[in-house]
A and B are shown apart, each in its own frame.
Chain A
C-alpha cells in the first residue's frame, strides 16, 4: 500500500508538486497520468525518499520509505531505465542487486527469464541495450527482492507493442496476487488497459482521480456546443466556468450538465450539443483535465 498525503515540492519559487494526495491499495494497479513535466517523477522520487519534500508526507506499507530496513525486499522501484552504467553487463547489474538485497544468486537467472532477457543479451553490456531492453532489465531489478509493492516511472517507454502487452500481463498478475502497483505514464493508452484506478496530475496538482467509471461520470466532464461559440463562452465565463475550446467549435467544461444548461439559458444562448465527455474513452477526459484551466500565478 502506498499513501501520499499533501506532498509538495518547490524549487526556489517554482512549485513542481502541489498538495498531492492519493493512495494505492493492495491488489490494484494505479495509473499515474500526466503530461511531461507535470510532477509525476518528482512525486515518485519523494515517495522513495530520494527527493526531500517541501511539505506533506508519503508512506509505503504504512511507514516512510526510508524507514524500511531493506527496502528492496518490499518495494520494487524503477525510476529511470536509462540510469545504468553502460559498461556493466545486464547479468552483472542484477547480480549486484541480488548481493545487496541478500537474495540468492540463482534468482538472477530466473528474473532475466521472467522479463524475457535471453542469456546472450544478459552477457552484453547495458550500453548496447535498446531502451526497451533496459526497461526489461529495470523491471527484473525491481522484482529481484520479491516485493509486494511496485513503483515504476514510465516503464512502457521504448517498449514495442508486444512489450507493452507483456508488461500489462505482468503487472496485472502482480496485482492479482495481492501486490500494489503504481505506474506512471504520459500516454494514457499505455496504462488504460491495465490500471484499475487513475491519478491524473497536471501542473503539479491532482486534476482528477478515481476508477475509470468514476472518472467518466464525474462532474466536470461535459462537452458543449452552441450556435454562437463566442456568446456561449461569455455566458459560461459570467457564471465562473472555464470553457476550453476543443478546436472543433465545441468547449470542454468542468461542470455539471445543469450548470452549463442554466448558464446558457440565462444568457439566451442556443445549445446544439451538451453531453458527458468521455465518448472516446479516458483519452478525452485526460486531454481535458491535463490541458485544463490555465494556471494563474
Chain B
C-alpha cells in the first residue's frame, strides 16, 4: 500500500481477523431459536402446535371408552397434531430466510453456511422437545380432568419408554421439516411436497401389490406409526431407520449441498 501511511487501520496486522473468534455454535443456536419465536407468525405457529395437543383432550374425554382413558393413551393422542405441525415449524425455520430474504444478512454474518444449518437443526430440536414436554403436561392435565369428572378409568402409568419415543418422534418430525425446507428452499413447495410425497407413496403402496413390501420399509406413516405402539421389534426399528434414510437423511444431504452452492441474493 502506498497512499495509506496516515491511516491507523492499515497498520492492523491481518492476523487480527481471527479475533474475535467466530460465534460459537451454542450462540448460533440461541439466535436461531430466538428467530423462530420473535415474530407474530412464529409465535402463532408454536401456539397452534401446543393447542393441537389441548384440543385432543376433550376428544379423548368425551369420545373414548372409559377404560381407554389412561394417561398413556392421552399422551399418544396429544402427539397427533404435534407430529403433523412440527415439520412445518422445521420447514419455516429454513424457508422464511429465503422468502423474507433475511438469508442475505444471515450468511453475511456467518459465512459458513453449514454452521447455520446445524444451528437451525439444533434450534428445531430444542423447540420440538419443549413442545413434546408441553404435550405430556397437557395429557397429565387431561387425565386429571377426566378423574375429576369421573370419566376416565384408565391407569395413570406412563412408561419412561413412551416418553423416550415421544421425544424421538418429535425430533424426527422437526428434522424432516428442516431437511425438506433446505432441499426446496421455498415455503409452499416444501410444505406441499412434505405432505404429498410420503402420502402418495402410502396410497400407491396400498394400491399396487408389488410395492407392498417396499412400502413397509419406506412409508414413514407406517414405520413411524409402528414405533408409537408398545413393544417395538428390532425389525420395526430397522424399517424406521431405512425409511428415515430416504425421507430425512437424503433430503438433508442434498439440501446441505444446495445450500452450500446456492447464490444468496
A interface residues with partner B (beta carbon < 8 Å): 1, 25-27, 45, 48-52, 61-63, 65-74, 77, 79-80, 82-88, 92, 96-97, 99-102, 141, 148, 178-180
Contact = CB atoms under 8 A, between A and B. Distances in A.
Contacts of A27: 4, 6-7, 9
Contacts of A49: 107-108, 111
B264 A83 contact: no
Contacts of B12: 61, 148
B264 A50 contact: yes
A67 B18 CA distance: 9
B42 to A, nearest CB: 8
27 contacts: A25-B1, A26-B9, A27-B6, A27-B7, A45-B264, A50-B104, A50-B265, A51-B263, A52-B263, A63-B14, A65-B111, A66-B111, A66-B112, A69-B17, A69-B22, A70-B22, A71-B111, A85-B96, A88-B39, A96-B34, A96-B38, A99-B27, A100-B110, A101-B23, A102-B20, A102-B23, A148-B9
A50 B107 contact: yes
The interface centre, meaning the residue of A1, A26, A62, A101 with most chain B CB atoms within 10 A of its CB, is: A26
Contacts of A68: 17, 111
B261 interface: yes
B46 to A, nearest CB: 14
Given A49-B111, A69-B19, A96-B35, 9 more contacts: A25-B3, A50-B108, A61-B17, A70-B20, A80-B104, A84-B101, A87-B39, A96-B34, A180-B9
Interface of B: 1, 3-4, 6-10, 12, 14, 17-23, 27-28, 30-31, 34-35, 38-42, 96, 100-102, 104-105, 107-112, 261, 263-265
Nearest to A86: B100
Contacts of B22: 69-70
Nearest to A62: B14
Contact of A141 (B8, B10, B39, B105): B105
Contact of A69 (B1, B21, B105): B21
Contacts of A70: 20-23
Contacts of A80: 101, 104
B108 A79 contact: yes
A83 B263 contact: no
A92 B14 contact: no
Rank and list the top 6 A-B pairs by shortest CB-CB distance, nearest first. Answer: A87-B39, A83-B101, A26-B7, A66-B111, A50-B264, A27-B7
B20 A87 contact: no
Given A1-B1, A27-B4, A70-B21, A99 B9 contact: no
A66 B112 CA distance: 7
Contacts of B21: 69-70
Contacts of A87: 39-42
The interface centre, meaning the residue of B7, B34, B96, B261 with most chain A CB atoms within 10 A of its CB, is: B7
